[in-house]
Amino acid sequence: MLKLLYVLLSECAESTLRNFRKLAAKSTPVDPKIMNDLKVDGVSVQEDFLTSQQCDEYIAKIEKIIASGSSNIWKDSAGADNRIYFAETLDDKFAEFFETPKIRQILSRYTGTEKPKGMLLASRITAKEGNLGSGGGWHRDSPISHQFKAVCYLSDVTANNGPFQFIKSSHTKFAVLKAYFNKLLKVGSNRFTDLEIEKYCSEEEKEVVSFTAKKGSIIFADTKGIHRGKPLTEGKRYVLFCYFWHNEIPDHFNSLKQEEA
């Protein structure tokens, strides 16, 4: 009960702080459909954000960095997921993507964060035995704070090569608190089993959406909503992820930084 009260108070504080930030931020023009999708569903997709040629150039850069073995690359235990965190510090083209004005404008409108701390993650995940998919299973990036992430597919993504999956409208404060009151999810938890998710979706009538899309598509998501990368059964998937925070990059990302040139 005390834990639930703490969560309730934290949710109220989070709302107040974010709304103040939004009021103070300069108003930037953003496609109203994207803002409405984010508010209602927690997720929005746009095709052709990058051209096929741009995607191929980014893939070539990722392959080159992984093959060289000279950068700081995180791998999962199955050896399926290869993640180049802080890729923007390795290459000007990655830095250019990370600073794309349109992404920053949506971030600012949605969270009120105008000068974020963050990083670009460039990743390649392959269909190896035992892979859990990108993100290591169902989770919220934060159980309390609304977070904005941009996920750009560099290769075509089908149902089999690891689409981003999101439970529509699981990001709202109402949905979060209702799942606690109905004892479907543990209070304050941010990692979930497949069984918990199955039960949550059936009892709360929620829908898991798999974002299959062609290369160059971008997904804007509030990653407080429950999401994962679906485990791959074939092929591979290349993605660029923009991570943002209002204050500081959490300490646990320190060991994933690239060495200064």
Is 37 one of the binding residues for Fe ion (CB under 5 A)?
A: no
C-beta closer to Fe ion: residue 61 or 192: 192
Count of residues near Fe ion by CB under 5 A: 3
Query: Least distance from C-beta 42 to Fe ion, angstroms?
Result: 12
**The three-state (H, E, C) secondary structure of the chain, written as one string:** CHHHHHHHHHHHHHHHHHHHHHHHCCCCCCCHHHHHHHHHCCEEEECCCCCHHHHHHHHHHHHHHHHHCCCCCEECCCCCEEEECCHHHCCHHHHHHHCCHHHHHHHHHHHCCCCCEEEEEEEEEECCCCCCCCCCCCECCCCCCCCEEEEEECCCECCCCCCEEEECCCCCHHHHHHHHHCCCCCCCCCECCHHHHHHHHHHHCCCEEEECECCCCEEEEECCCCEEECCCCCCEEEEEEEEEECCCCCHHHHHHCCCCC
For the CB of residue 225, give the shortest distance to Fe ion in the complex, in Å: 10
Which of 37, 88, 141, 222 is in the footprint of Fe ion by CB under 5 A? 141
Residue from 42, 116, 118, 135 in contact with Fe ion (CB under 5 A): 135
Which residues does residue 126 pair with via DSSP β-bridges, in sequence order? 236
Choices 31-39, 44-52, 129-137, 180-188; region in contact with Fe ion by CB under 5 A: 129-137
- Contact segment (CB under 5 A) with Fe ion among 107-115, 131-139, 213-221, 251-259 equals 131-139
Q: CA–CA separation, 56 vs 39, rounded Å? A: 32
Beta carbon nearer to Fe ion, 61 or 246: 246
Binding of Fe ion at residue 88 (CB under 5 A)? no
Piece of 10-18, 113-121, 130-138, 250-258 that binds Fe ion (CB under 5 A): 130-138
CB of 121 to Fe ion, least distance (A): 11
Is residue 118 a contact point for Fe ion (CB under 5 A)?
A: no
Q: Which is nearer to Fe ion, 91 or 157 (CB)?
A: 157
**Which is nearer to Fe ion, 112 or 137 (by Cβ)?**
137
Q: How far is the CB of 84 from Fe ion (least distance, A)?
A: 17
Interacting residues toward Fe ion by CB under 5 A: 135, 141, 223
